[in-house]
Amino acid sequence: MPNAYLGDNYTEFDYVCVDNIANVNDEDLKTVDIWLFNRLWCQGTLEQIRGVYKALTAFGAKVILDLDDYWVLESGHIMYRHYLSTRLDEQIREHIRLADHVTTTTEHLAQKIRLLNKNVTILPNEPYEAYQQYIPNPSEEPDPHLFKIGWFGGAQHQEDIALVEHSFSLLAHDKSLDGKYKIFLGGWNENPVYVDYERMLSCNGKNANYGRIQAADIYSYVGGYNFINATIAPLRDTKFNRLKSELKVVEAGWMYKAIIASETIPYTDIIVHGENGLLIPYGKKDAWYKAVRKFINDPGYARHLALQLAEDVRERFDIAKTAERRAELYRAIGRKL
């Protein structure tokens, strides 16, 4: 998205996506000024990684590596065994060392990257409204008489969702709230991980106030926020998670939704408890229930927090301003004709 923005708004940049660099021939190589890669340009031995870098830069092009996650996974991550067996963490380290420049989303992760490569620029994740999903559409919201709470995420969050399992069990058994709210699992599909998410969020199917939002691709999943009033963002307080981007908060604010999040970095970088969202201290098992109940019983309060978050996010995450810095970076390191 950010590079599509440059292509759309800066005539000096011609941005082209290539699905496989193996299909790029020497004549094409000569036309490239900057290569942009997310996390890896290839998987293989360290010698292979160096060889591909040498080929990419043979005609004077520079390589920028983009990272928005830490490369050392914890044992509970769904990709942990794969990273361990392929030594992918060491492969990513070699990519960082070789890259001419590295871009990342937060200062927290930048500090880790600088230990391997001092050429780092922080460019945060930001929505681009040319992608239709980032235009809020309240008309899609079903049943305005219900307060709707949702969670959206990938298949690597079982340990995070487990943080709210107890509270959502309390919610399911609170009959005073029946008929006042709906819980939505965003990204539902037949993957066993999502079946487990559903078990935890619906109290083993006992909560009649539960529903699904079907999985969607990366160009449309944010549209799921149109079906809710507030989102939850449980996150374990670990090194890997503290080095993540604040994307869930950005999405919520951009779509004018209230948020209840774990009291941990990176969420605490943006959320001020009681001003633009609610923060749940780690280990407070009942606190998620109390926060959700507060929103259900006082939707005006949730709306107040949502509007403040929207204002804060739009002020802090401005793709036009970040595009200027991105363009300056590309001009500075790009091949000089």
Q: Kindly report the CATH number assigned to the domain that includes residue 142.
A: 3.40.50.2000
Tell me the residue range of the domain where 91 lies.
2-126+318-333
User: In what helix (H) or strand (E) does residue 9 lie, and over which residues does it extend?
Assistant: helix 2-9
Contact predicate 81/62, CB 8 Å: no
pLDDT score at 83: 84
Q: Tokens 């999985």 identify what position?
A: 215
Tokens matching residue 64: 């920028």
Same domain? 120 vs 188: no
pLDDT score at 26: 85
Q: Tokens 């996010």 identify what position?
A: 313
Same domain? 165 vs 282: yes
pLDDT score at 32: 93
Return d(Cα 78, Cα 250) in angstroms, integer: 24
Residue-level pLDDT, tens digit, the chain, 337 residues: 899 999 999 999 998 888 888 888 888 889 999 999 999 999 999 999 999 999 999 999 999 999 999 998 888 787 888 888 888 999 999 999 999 999 999 999 999 999 999 999 999 999 998 899 999 987 766 677 899 999 999 988 999 999 999 999 999 999 999 999 999 999 999 999 999 999 999 999 999 999 999 999 989 999 999 999 999 999 999 999 999 999 999 999 999 999 999 999 999 999 999 999 999 999 898 999 999 999 999 999 999 999 999 999 999 999 999 999 999 999 999 887 6
CB atoms closer than 10 angstroms to residue 137: 13
Same domain? 198 vs 304: yes
Same domain? 167 vs 121: no
Same domain? 327 vs 306: no
Same domain? 310 vs 322: no
Between helices 165-173 and 192-201, what is the axis angle to 10°? Answer: 50
Return d(Cα 58, Cα 61) in angstroms, integer: 7
pLDDT score at 140: 67
Number of alpha carbons in the 13 Å side-chain half-sphere of residue 163: 22
Spatial neighbors of 106 by CB under 8 A, at least 6 apart, are 122, 124, 243, 244, 245, 246, 266, 269
pLDDT score at 142: 62
- CATH code of 327's domain: 3.40.50
Same domain? 236 vs 222: yes
**Which residue type, as a one-letter code, is found at position 188?**
W
Same domain? 37 vs 92: yes
Same domain? 110 vs 212: no
Same domain? 50 vs 164: no
Same domain? 293 vs 326: no
pLDDT score at 337: 60
120-122: strand order across its sheet:
34-38, 62-67, 101-104, 120-122
Tell me how many domains the chain contains. Answer: 2
Where are the alpha helices (H) located in 10-157, listed in sequence order?
A: 26-29, 46-56, 80-86, 88-98, 107-113
Same domain? 225 vs 282: yes
